[in-house]
Amino acid sequence: MATQHVGYFVGSLAKGSINRILSRSLIRLAPEHMEFTEIPIGNLPLYSYDYDADYPPEGRALKDAIAKVDAVLFVTPEYNRSIPGALKNAIDWASRPWGENSFARKPSAVIGASPGPIGTAVGQQSLKQVLAFCNSPLMNAVEAYIQFRPEVFGADGEVNDPATEAFLRDYMLAFHEFIARVLTVLPKDEL
């Protein structure tokens, strides 16, 4: 089985981000034929179409990182019932200039954690709308709205609750299978 190269975005820029901890858990629980590379978003200037004629190095690096992976995973908090500004800014950079959308036909999945009981449900719906517009094939099921509890998630990615661990393992297996299906129909070399 071929290795799937997955780029992942952590939507929070906070050093102690619970979504960064969740990303470590997801990587630990992923099938063995998946390799992960974080795609950093913290150094991007605010997007403006004034840059379209001459992308700065940070924008080119973002687009190059996305081009190198088979799929993208968004692990993000919910800010004000939507997605964090830094993540939206990165998506704007990656989807421009017109006709050079890095997310077009790139399989993606969305997951997030929050201290609240509905996880990041509303923010994920906002992100899914943006990614649908960007023509990114989205894994719509399994949906995953994670209530973060410190006793469940270790900082190194350990999951201390068997039910949560099984759910996250199943989520990553579903993503692995989704990527394979999408790339069967839309091979990467044709993207």
Total domain count, the chain = 1
pLDDT at position 171, please?
98
- Is the predicted pLDDT of residue 190 greater than 80, yes or no? no
pLDDT band (50, 70, 90) for residue 141: confident
Angle, CA of 179, 183 and 186, to the nearest 5°? 135
Ranges of beta strands (E only) in the chain are 4-10, 34-38, 71-75, 108-114, 145-147
User: Residue 124 in contact with residue 110, Cβ under 8 Å?
Assistant: yes
- Is the predicted pLDDT of residue 92 greater than 80, yes or no? yes
- Global pTM exceeds 0.75: yes
CATH number where 43 lies: 3.40.50.360
123, 19, 64, 174 alpha-carbon torsion, rounded to 10°: -80
**Domain ranges, residue 108:** 4-190
Tens digits of residue pLDDT in 33-74: 999 999 999 999 999 999 999 999 999 999 999 999 999 999
